Amino acid sequence: MLGLGALTPNPLATFTNFVGGLADLHIEGLSRNFGWGQPDSLDVPALPAMWVTLPESDAQLMTFEGGAATHVMRLHMWIAVAPVAQGVQETRFRAAVLMMDYLFHALAHEDLPTDEISISKLTWTMRMTEVTVAGAVFTAVHALITGRG
């Protein structure tokens, strides 16, 4: 029986390593890291809180014309910053912008073990938004993170 290493061009570029590596990412300023999947509930002392969801992939196999195989993996990272129903909008806005700085630094940091997550450097898009957890709405940072394996 073939092992996973025989089935993928880069055995390090697996969904388990990609999702797990980003779920374990150290981000300055976080109070709680829920890791894999949105929490069932979220309270103010746990904020800011992070989790990853919805991994997805695109792949192309090598062609007879000499094209290279590509494997693109993506996942959504969420950081809930503050409840929308509490506090001042400007305070939530500033807290989310600061969290964007922290997330950017964590993803761009040169010590990030991207070879354990994917074969190439990560790319991402990031935006401030809102997320609902257990019926409560939170100001949040959302990042779509891409790796190529």
pLDDT score for 21: 87
pTM: 0.83
| Average pLDDT across the chain, whole number | 84
CA separation for the pair 5, 117 (Å, rounded): 14
pLDDT score for 122: 87
Mean pLDDT of 49-64: 80
What is the tens place of the pLDDT at every residue in 82-133?
A: 999 987 899 999 999 999 999 999 998 756 666 666 667 789 999 999 999 9
Point out the least confidently predicted range of 69-73, 106-110, 111-115, 145-149: 111-115
What class is the 8-35+44-55+70-148 domain?
alpha beta
Q: Is the pLDDT of residue 6 over 60?
A: no
Provide the β-strand partners of residue 141. 79, 128
pLDDT score for 114: 63
pLDDT score for 124: 95
CA separation for the pair 76, 52 (Å, rounded): 6
The domain locations on the chain are: 8-35+44-55+70-148
**Quick one: which of 139, 123, 147, 142 has its CA closest to 82?**
139
Query: Which is more confident, 106 or 68?
Result: 106
What is the tens place of the pLDDT at every residue in 19-38?
A: 888 999 999 999 999 999 99
**Quick one: which of 143, 115, 118 has its CA closest to 53?**
143
CA separation for the pair 103, 128 (Å, rounded): 12
DSSP 46: G
- As given in the structure block, the two tokens for residue 12 are 């390090």
